[in-house]
Homo-oligomer: A and B are copies of this chain.
Amino acid sequence: MKKHNFSAGPCILPQEVFQKSAEAILDFNGMGLSILEISHRSKDFIAVMDEARAIVKRLMNLNDDYEVLFLGGGASLQFAMVPFNLMKENGKAAYLDSGNWAANAIKEAKKLGAVDVIGSSKEENYSFIPKIEEVGAEYDYFHCTSNNTIYGTQIKDFPKANTLMVSDMSSDIFSRMIDYSKFDLIYAGAQKNMGPAGTTLVVVKKEILGKSGRVIPSYLDYAQHVAKESMFNTPPVFAVYASLLTLQWLENNGGIAAAEERNIAKAKLLYDEIDRNPLFECFCVPEDRSLMNVSFKITDESKKEAFDNAWKAAGINGLNGHRSLGGYRASLYNALPIESVQVLVDVMKSI
């Protein structure tokens, strides 16, 4: 039976990524060796890393002012790396508190210095994106989370920042056309739109590095990774390779522009049903609805069991909401086909 995978991450990837990465585990590039057993210093793997770094810049339309890194440790490690690299001793940073992950980033930054939370929707259970027009030049940087995976909200208009602009784009990177060159640092755990769990993408404008004045542990120092072309130490080889395959699939299917069109169509199909069907209701306000994560609840608990049985019977997987919020969450990442959304909508209509 065909599965329809709405998992919030790790999540569905293109089928060809599964096929090709399984083949590479048995025999990579016809070498007679597995990709798991070759040196990361071999020319075959260096070519993987180089192409993965290049394709990110092409997709995002970024010039050589930027460097691309594939690191380990997850976005949670970035929560610490950002202030280590960008917050000056006795400086301060501005953060937008738009959800759980944003709050975690704030908590880590506060360990290193002063943080002003310049907008928060925490008191309203993160049901909207706090709107900020402009961020002052008195801050070392401004940090925001572009998409809230749990509550299903997404920043549509980024504020004008008169300082460095930093964004955690873990859950909506490569999903929509935005001007990536407005950002000085972007990071994203791979396990949504970019690849499997195990690596984190960092896109950084070189000129901003080396200015915090702090003693930085080497692994936490972006400049060290930049100097070694993302090979400061053994990289997460397989996760980088599977990410490259996913990025190639994206580029071969029209790039971000075409992905955005598909994502808009998928989201419209599902939000239209939620708006039409009195049995379902979103957690968040309409204007901040995410194209990636549709978080919703059922309005009549007596029908919950029937709904749960029906979507499971339809081959749907990963629809339960985040444990902190409950309800449901349909994640519509790049690799999810619209046919899967139609199956979900048909189930919703049938209850």
Contact = CB atoms under 8 A, between A and B. Distances in A.
Contacts of A233: 74-76
A130 interface: no
Given A80-B218, A238-B238, 12 more contacts: A7-B38, A18-B37, A22-B23, A36-B197, A72-B198, A73-B77, A76-B219, A76-B233, A77-B219, A191-B237, A199-B236, A236-B236
B235 A76 contact: no
A151 to B, nearest CB: 18
Contacts of A280: none
Contacts of A9: 39, 234
* Interface bracket on A: 35 or more
A166 interface: no
Task: Identify the interface centre among A23, A71, A74, A315: most chain B CB within 10 Å of its CB.
Answer: A74
Contact of A32 (B1, B21, B199): B1
Contact of A238 (B77, B111, B239): B239
Those 7 A-B pairs whose CB atoms lie nearest each other, nearest first? A80-B217, A198-B236, A72-B72, A76-B233, A73-B73, A36-B196, A72-B73
Nearest to A191: B234
A327 interface: no
Interface string A18-40: 11011101100001111011111
B39 A8 contact: yes
Nearest to A19: B26
Contact of A18 (B21, B25, B80): B25
A79 interface: yes
Contacts of A75: 233
A78 to B, nearest CB: 9
A238 B197 contact: yes
Contacts of A68: none
Contacts of A219: 73-74, 76-77, 79-80
Interface string A292-333: 000000000000000000000001011000010000000000
A10 interface: yes
A196 B26 contact: no
11 contacts: A7-B39, A13-B36, A13-B37, A18-B25, A22-B22, A72-B72, A72-B74, A76-B219, A77-B217, A197-B236, A198-B199
B32 A10 contact: no
A18 B36 contact: yes
Interface of A: 1-3, 5, 7-13, 17-19, 21-23, 25-26, 31-34, 36-41, 71-77, 79-80, 104, 107-108, 111, 189, 191, 196-199, 215-220, 232-239, 242, 315, 317-318, 323
A39 B10 contact: yes
Contacts of A76: 218-219, 232-233
A79 to B, nearest CB: 7
Contacts of A26: 18-19, 22
B33 A317 contact: yes
A10 B37 contact: yes
B108 A217 contact: yes
A32 B7 contact: no
B7 A37 contact: yes
Given A72-B73, A73-B77, A197-B237, A3 B32 contact: yes
A23 B239 CA distance: 17
